[in-house]
Amino acid sequence: MRPEYIFMDLDGTISDPKEGITKAVAHALSYYGIRVENLDTLEKFIGPPLLDSFRDFYGFSEERSREAIEKYREYFGSQGLFENVLYDGMKELLAAVVSHGKKIAIATSKPEVYTVQILKYFGIEHYFQFVAGSTLDGGRSKKGDVIRYALDSLKITADQAVMVGDRKHDVIGAKENGMYAVGVLYGYGDRKELETAGADCIVTDVEELKKKLIDL
């Protein structure tokens, strides 16, 4: 069966959110007296759920991680979400995929409320049939849960969709749901990460991704 739906991650797949996310993380860490001189060192926060990242990278307890997320949102919710750029050729990719009869949905660990704002900011919200993300209270942040929510909401089976993302979380989440996974190398994951996670296909750039999605 040819997949009807394309599920796409947002950060590192559709747009590059580096400036906004790293500044928001630095804002949160500063509350705890942690100063970050080089924002590049915070790129590792792009992709995984924030709750996991504050715990894994800074040893925060779950309670402190949740508090840090609130501090993160002080910056991100008002400014950081707009410090974000579409990857070159992405609008053309979305238009081409839709013109070939595919339906596109977002599957992201970012809260849905921010995701919708970002899509509208870029003027691309009309390309998407559905937006699946996390909730502000921390629910549904794991990528596998987000994908399951999207499948259930759209009333489709895993063989009717493919998942596209730049990090292992996207691939692992797809595999947890029995879905074909396409990894992209222009985001924040590398080939080894995507291969180890079990990606069925890996593309180098947006143009290659466009051709792959049209041919699926």
d(CA 151, CA 160) in angstroms, rounded, equals: 9
Residue-wise pLDDT tens digits, 94-124: 999 999 999 999 999 999 999 999 999 999 9
* Tens of pLDDT, residues 34-43: 999 999 999 9
CA atoms of 29 and 182, how far apart (whole Å): 33
Task: Give dist(CA 95, CA 102) in Å, integer.
Answer: 10
Residue 9: active-site member: yes
User: For residue 1, what pLDDT is reported?
Assistant: 60
Give me the DSSP letters along 40-97: GGGGGGSSS-HHHHHHHHH---HHHHHHHHHHHHHHHTTTGGGS-EEPTTHHHHHHHH
CA 210 to chain centre: 18
Residue 111 near residue 81 (C-beta atoms within 8 A):
no
Of the candidates 9, 11, 16, 166, the residue annotated as catalytic is 9
Confidence label for 49 from pLDDT (cuts 50, 70 and 90): confident
- Whether residue 160 contacts residue 140, with contact meaning beta carbons closer than 8 Å, is answered with no
Question: What tokens does 16 get?
Answer: 């590059």
Q: Per residue in 155-201, pLDDT tens?
A: 999 999 999 999 999 999 999 999 999 999 999 999 999 999 999 99
Q: Does residue 139 surpass a pLDDT of 80?
A: no
Q: What is the mean pLDDT of the chain?
A: 95
